[in-house]
Amino acid sequence: MPGIGRREALGAAGVAACGLALAGCGASGEGQAAAVPGIKGQVIAKTADVPVGGGVVVQKWKIVVTQPTEGVYKAYSAVCTHRGCAVGSPKEGVMTCPCHGSEFSAADGKALKGPASAPLTAYQVKVEGDGIVVV
């Protein structure tokens, strides 16, 4: 039984290289950010620090906490679903990514303006005392 010849080996290597190149071209970076491990049950922000109609970015967790309406708190990954840059604190109900200009709703995390089209990863939160806790 003959071994693999030089042509076959080079051909297989070429096919493999093309496959890797195509896979890299197809990846847009678009998608959900992974949830932060060990965050459940953690106080991620104080209610007094999150203004109504605005929010804060919590650098420690890479999370943005918003209060779209009085007493309603939301939390999202601060990692833009386009290329992974950190979004800024909400202004006028919108979180903006400084890298490519994607915009996300502070009320539900949905992409409002591209290039990102996927929403920010949402975290379920509740208020315990004066803290906002991930459920």
3-state SS, residue 18: helix
Please tell me the distance from the alpha carbon of residue 92 to that of residue 87, in angstroms, as a whole number. Answer: 14
- Encode pLDDT of 3-61 as tens digits: 666 666 545 544 444 443 333 333 344 555 556 767 899 999 999 999 999 999 999 98
Please tell me the distance from the alpha carbon of residue 32 to that of residue 80, in angstroms, as a whole number. Answer: 9
Given this model, what pLDDT does residue 9 score? 52
- Encode pLDDT of 105-122 as tens digits: 999 999 999 899 999 999
Identify which of 86, 64, 67 has the alpha carbon closest to the alpha carbon of residue 75. Answer: 64
Specify whether the CB–CB gap between 39 and 123 falls below 8 A.
Answer: yes
- Encode pLDDT of 62-88 as tens digits: 999 999 999 999 999 999 999 888 999
Given this model, what pLDDT does residue 15 score? 45
The CA–CA distances, whole Å, from 28 to 16, 54, 105 equal 21, 30, 21
> Phi/psi class of residue 41: alpha, beta or left (left: φ > 0; alpha: ψ in -120 to 50)?
left
Q: Which residue has the higher pLDDT, 35 or 124?
A: 124
